[in-house]
């Protein structure tokens, strides 16, 4: 009898887990996050949230991932360096110093955050914004120091950097929404 209980228990334990957020049905037993959307899968012993609560929390960030912060920093840093500093070396006609460099950085940070939001599992839209902040600090300083003719005061550089960081947050959120797809229809 005891052997049968273990067999039945292990068979029940090996059943795939259904994600409460997206409904993905092939998560292996013991998964902490959904293999499809990256949402946290609650343990079976915890109190379950209602379907409405699950849908309301579908697009909310659950924590900060250091791994995706580093990936976002790498993506934002490479894109910024390639476009602002590398492209003028290849095409000398393009000169992204000072104000022009800040104008180019804003869409670069937005697109980099959008890309990271689309490829990162789970809801990680704060990480690209923090990465953009970490990239914006030295980039802004270098653009201020590299300009040959001062065309813009210092506070406008800070405003441009702030706009770029805000747009990076928006881009990462849009990327997450694209990745997760439309919200599921409520069950009647």
CA distances from 37 to 19, 71, 125, 126, 183 (A): 9, 18, 14, 17, 12
- The Cα 31–Cα 29 span in angstroms is 6
Question: Considering only CA atoms, which of 186, 69, 42 is closest in space to residue 133?
Answer: 69
| SS3 at position 6 | helix
CB atoms < 10 A from the CB of 105, how many? 26
Q: How confident is the model at residue 101 (pLDDT cuts 50, 70, 90)?
A: confident
Closest CA to 106 of 168, 158, 151: 168
CA separation for the pair 108, 181 (Å, rounded): 24
186 Rama class: left (phi>0) / alpha (psi -120 to 50) / beta: beta
Vertex 106, ends 104 and 108: CA angle to 5°? 75
101-128 mean pLDDT: 88
Q: What is the pLDDT of residues 132-152, one digit of tens each?
A: 999 999 999 988 888 777 778
Whether the pLDDT of residue 159 is over 90: the answer is yes
Of 129 and 40, the structure prediction assigns the larger pLDDT to 129
Higher-scoring residue by pLDDT: 18, 108: 108
pLDDT at 55 over 90: no
């Amino acid at each position: 009898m005891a052997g049968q209980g273990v067999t039945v228990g292990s068979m029940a334990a090996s059943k795939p887990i259904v994600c409460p957020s997206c409904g993905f049905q092939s998560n292996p037993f013991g998964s902490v996050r959904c293999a499809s959307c990256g949402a946290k899968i609650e343990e079976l012993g915890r109190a379950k949230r209602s379907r409405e609560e699950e849908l309301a929390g579908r697009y909310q960030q659950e924590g900060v991932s250091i791994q995706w912060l580093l990936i976002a920093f790498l993506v934002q840093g490479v894109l910024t360096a390639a476009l602002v500093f590398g492209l003028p070396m290849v095409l000398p006609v393009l000169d992204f110093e000072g104000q022009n460099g800040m104008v180019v950085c804003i869409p670069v940070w937005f697109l980099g955050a959008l890309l990271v939001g689309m490829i990162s599992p789970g809801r990680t839209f704060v990480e690209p914004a923090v990465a953009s902040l970490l990239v914006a600090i030295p980039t802004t300083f270098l653009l201020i120091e590299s300009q040959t003719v001062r065309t813009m005061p210092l506070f406008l550089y800070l405003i441009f950097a702030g706009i770029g960081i805000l747009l990076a947050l928006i881009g990462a959120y849009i990327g997450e929404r694209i990745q997760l797809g439309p919200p599921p229809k409520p069950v009647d």
